[in-house]
Structure 1
Amino acid sequence: MSDLDHSSYDTSLDSREETSQDLKLEFSEDEESLIIRMYNLIGERWSLIAGRIPGRTAEEIEKYWTSRYSTSE
């Protein structure tokens, strides 16, 4: 039974982490426009794109791009 308790604890932790990450994935219209233009110019070079957007990491931009524009579905 302790395994069940531990699993529910892990799940609640994961959902809190996802929520805080989702909030970071909110980009302004200017940021979105810049990401799209940079992606069209240089492709999936997330660190270069992030270098043009203060306060954003390559991981945030890549996650945003794949969640918004991914065609793998």
Structure 2
Amino acid sequence: MADSEQSSTDDNIVDSQEETSKKSKHEFSEDEETLIRRMYNLVGERWNLIAGRIPGRTAEEIEKYWNTRYATSE
């Protein structure tokens, strides 16, 4: 029974870590948001350049963030 309890605990830890990882991937801190806005005003849609200034973020993540947050409907 101890083995099954340990396995269950391990599964819960893994699930919790995956959830935290997914959440942090999609949420941007206030500092990141400010940097993205400032960089966008300086260099425009050069997502790779902006991503290079934010460790752990990809150009695709930043572009998706920008388009969902600041894109205007025409």
Q: Same fold (TM over 0.5)?
A: yes
Larger radius of gyration: 2
| Cα distance in 2, alignment partners of residues 70 and 25 from structure 1 | 17
| Cα distance in 1, alignment partners of residues 52 and 66 from structure 2 | 16
Runs of 4+ in 1 over 3 A off after TM superposition: none
Deviation string for 1:24-59 (max 9, x for gaps)? 220000000000000000000000000000000000
Match of 1:41 in 2: 42
Matches within 5 A, 1:6-25: 20=22, 23=23, 24-25=25-26
Match of 1:67 in 2: 68
Structure 2 gap segments, 5+ residues each: 1-21
Q: What is the root-mean-square deviation in Å for CA atoms of aligned residues?
A: 1.2
State the shift of 1:72 in Å: 2.0
Match of 1:5 in 2: none
| Cα distance in 1, alignment partners of residues 26 and 37 from structure 2 | 15
Structure 1 gap segments, 5+ residues each: 1-19
Number of aligned residue pairs: 52
Using the TM superposition, name which of 45-54 and 23-32 deviates more. 23-32
Question: Counterpart amino acid of 2:41?
Answer: N
| Cα distance in 2, alignment partners of residues 34 and 28 from structure 1 | 10
